[in-house]
Structure 1
Amino acid sequence: MRSSRIEELITIGALARASGLTASALRFYGDCGLLVPAEVDAVTGYRYYTRSQCERAVLIRRLRGIDLSLETITEVLSGDPGRAERLLDAHVAELARRADTAARVAAQVKRALGAGRGIAVPAAELARSIGQVGTAAAVDDTAPVLAGVLLEADSTALTLTATDRYRLSTRTLAPLRDGGEEWSVVVEAAKLAPLCPWLDTIEEVVLAPSESGIALTCGEIEHHCTGIEQPFPDYRAVLDGLPPVRTRMLVARAALIELLEAAGDIVVCTIDASGLVVASAATTRLSAVVTGAPMKLAFRSTVLRSAVVSALGPDLMFDLAAPDQPVVVRSATDGDLTTLVMPTFVPSTEDHIR
């Protein structure tokens, strides 16, 4: 019976390819309880799913694509059909407003013929990714590679990463079709940013390595960016080396942005089962879903706001290990965005809730 059960399970990579979600996005939905793996290997931590979960994964991707909140998605997928219809009908105004965007995406999928050379991704999504990830790149040339964005491609995703050693931001995009061969190039963030207005005027763009760096192509138009030869920091080792998560918080992005816009230079965050309390010029309580140990830590409001503003979707997940350790800010829609934010100081012992 055990061997029969194993044969029925598929890996997270297989589910990612079948659903159009990235593996990181699937982990996000698993951690927040929306798409829990059927089995997790106790030794390796590998996640396995049943094939029947693919339909739920596709529905989650579609609903997140129209900015439905996680709470509403849970109700749509777990409630009765009548309740689901009423919830979706209430979202019609938003659907109508975004109808043109949805039509463009559908046209891209319908005409996706042949992979060609390089990896094809939605151009507007790439423009947003450059803006989001590029904020973590260094602004001086002390170490040129730190002023760059690492672009990595394989058959399942295009990943953009930047770090100035104090911040780190990485995002993956699902390709419009199989990305083909693996490659990686580091390009100066200041060279990519001017391409965003052009990317916003086209539907899809193909990225491929060139002799001197990278080429971005749409039809007969091609833009070249020179690469940086220095090796990029091993950001995966940084992510893999993070201490275990003690506390996890899910909070509405818009409410947190509004609070941070009015905050002073330093914000002190108290996180416990009752939600999130932020103390700065004034003390404000935000509704949040918190699991794990209570924690108190502080940030420079501009640093935290930058990570929150650049995030994706209506909901953010914060993974916290300790008041003096990097905080991982995660979000997901069509792709995913992960940002590391360093607290500015450790609250005193008497302030630290245990």
Structure 2
Amino acid sequence: MRSIGEMARDSGLGVSALRFYDRAGVLVPAWVDPASGYRWYEPGQLEEARLLARLRRAGMALADIRLVLAGWSGADTDLVRKLLKAHLRRLEQGLSAARGEFSALRALLDHRENAMTSLRSASVRLSVAAPELAAALDTVRFAASTDPELPMLGGVLFDIEGESLHVVTTDRYRMAVARAGIAGHDGSRVQVIVPTSLADAMRALLDGKGPVRISVDGDRVALEAGDRQAAGHCLDHDFPDYRRLLPQAAGRRTVVEVAAFVKTLKTGPVRSAEAGAHDVSVLRVEDGGAVALCTEGAGDPNRVAVNRGFLLDALTAGARDRLILELGAPTAPIAIRRPDDESAFSLLMPVRLED
């Protein structure tokens, strides 16, 4: 018999994925210890697990995977071949349609390129209070992307307009926005993407209480604090239009004491998303306003699942004692706001649960 850890190591499926496929009835362990709940697998199940891992990497739906595994174990090769052929045909059709859509999108992007370039090529001089900018950068830093395939997200957007500087980060699964008041700007909108390393260097200079100066000249941005300076080139990319993603008022809203809620998350029940390695917390706002963690078997339609690590990052960013938590539908993003400035917030995408 193989332990679940050995099965994960030899099959290419994570332990959390094996637990998920057990619950889904796709790959059920041969024996479960009634005392500990530990799963054990027969040696022959390793082949099925490896097949399952390949099918998931190929993007096959769970319902079709069940049929393939049933045909595989029953030596029904005709059924397996038909299912594989049908899935490959769907992938090819989807790829063809996607190529057509991307061609149209490229034409639209080319049309908009000049307007977007003008936002990045202006010259700007402004001042901002050091503590205010420091708080804004601390609030958003955690959500900056580290994905080399998405270099446009590998920095902090400085969105300058009117008397406000909005700093924004996102890695597609979460987004953080914070605001700082500015002076000395003519009001026109200018956007630059500051590389995270440069943003960190700027943050290191914000240890005073007075104003600091920010200047933008084309593709170069600089922050001056007294006789110290952090400067460098901006990222030559377009940042997503974050204003289209701003959260609307949610159906359930409550104030949480951050320290207590973080402790509850760290010690409370977790579950795993489909084929994922991250822990997921399932939240629900009770009638009295308290936030409860749902257990694995809870069937509450108002529950919202979220990556626990992402939620902990959002709660601890900026070192706030209290935060506002907004929960909508299970498929709606989760918003976390500061009580003293609701224009500063984090947005977390929910995790889809199968049951």
TM-score under structure 1 length normalisation: 0.55
User: What letter is aligned with 2:292?
Assistant: V
Q: How many residues align?
A: 219
Instruction: Tell me how far apart the structure 2 counterparts of residues 209 and 243 of structure 1 sit (CA, whole Å).
Output: 32
CA displacement at 1:134 relative to structure 2? 2.1
Structure 1 contact 269–278 (Cα < 8 Å) conserved: yes
Instruction: Tell me how far apart the structure 1 counterparts of residues 283 and 232 of structure 2 sit (CA, whole Å).
Output: 41
User: What letter is aligned with 2:250?
Assistant: V
Structure 1 contact 157–179 (Cα < 8 Å) conserved: no
CA displacement at 1:209 relative to structure 2? 1.0
Equivalent in 227, 238, 253 of residue 248 of structure 1: 253
Task: Map 1:271-290 to 2 at 5 A.
Answer: 271-274=285-288, 275-279=290-294
Structure 1 gap ranges (5+)? 1-116, 284-292, 349-354
The answer on 1:262 being equivalent to 2:267 is yes
Instruction: Tell me how far apart the structure 2 counterparts of residues 216 and 333 of structure 1 sit (CA, whole Å).
Output: 26
Structure 1 contact 205–218 (Cα < 8 Å) conserved: yes
1:74-95 superposed Cα distances (whole Å, 9 cap, x missing partner): xxxxxxxxxxxxxxxxxxxxxx
Q: Larger C-alpha radius of gyration, 1 or 2?
A: 2
CA displacement at 1:331 relative to structure 2? 1.0
Equivalent in 189, 192, 205 of residue 199 of structure 2: 192
The answer on 1:221 being equivalent to 2:228 is yes
CA displacement at 1:301 relative to structure 2? 1.5
Equivalent in 296, 317, 323 of residue 330 of structure 2: 323
Structure 1 contact 312–332 (Cα < 8 Å) conserved: no
CA displacement at 1:294 relative to structure 2? 8.4
Equivalent in 290, 301, 307 of residue 308 of structure 2: 301
Structure 2 gap ranges (5+)? 1-123, 271-278
Structure 1 contact 187–213 (Cα < 8 Å) conserved: no
The answer on 1:230 being equivalent to 2:244 is no
Task: Map 1:52-201 to 2 at 5 A.
Answer: 118-175=125-182, 177=183, 179-182=185-188, 183-201=190-208
1:6-26 superposed Cα distances (whole Å, 9 cap, x missing partner): xxxxxxxxxxxxxxxxxxxxx
The 3 A distance-change label for structure 1 pair 194 and 304 is same
Structure 1 contact 312–331 (Cα < 8 Å) conserved: no
Match of 1:208 in 2: 215
1:82-126 superposed Cα distances (whole Å, 9 cap, x missing partner): xxxxxxxxxxxxxxxxxxxxxxxxxxxxxxxxxxx6232222332
Q: CA RMSD in A?
A: 2.8
- Aligned-pair identity (%): 25
Report SS of the residue matched to 1:255. Answer: helix
Instruction: Tell me how far apart the structure 2 counterparts of residues 126 and 332 of structure 1 sit (CA, whole Å).
Output: 18
TM-score under structure 2 length normalisation: 0.55
Structure 1 contact 297–323 (Cα < 8 Å) conserved: yes
Instruction: Tell me how far apart the structure 2 counterparts of residues 156 and 262 of structure 1 sit (CA, whole Å).
Output: 43
Structure 1 contact 136–168 (Cα < 8 Å) conserved: yes
Instruction: Tell me how far apart the structure 2 counterparts of residues 245 and 335 of structure 1 sit (CA, whole Å).
Output: 13
1:227-282 superposed Cα distances (whole Å, 9 cap, x missing partner): 1121110111122xx5763222222223212222334533221212132212469x
CA displacement at 1:145 relative to structure 2? 0.9
Structure 1 contact 149–186 (Cα < 8 Å) conserved: yes
Instruction: Tell me how far apart the structure 2 counterparts of residues 206 and 245 of structure 1 sit (CA, whole Å).
Output: 37
Structure 2 contact 220–234 (Cα < 8 Å) conserved: yes
Instruction: Tell me how far apart the structure 1 counterparts of residues 301 and 214 of structure 2 sit (CA, whole Å).
Output: 44
Instruction: Tell me how far apart the structure 2 counterparts of residues 272 and 347 of structure 1 sit (CA, whole Å).
Output: 23
Instruction: Tell me how far apart the structure 1 counterparts of residues 175 and 131 of structure 2 sit (CA, whole Å).
Output: 22
Structure 1 contact 168–341 (Cα < 8 Å) conserved: yes
Question: Following TM superposition, where does structure 1 have runs of at least 4 consecutive aligned residues deviating by more than 6 angstroms?
Answer: none
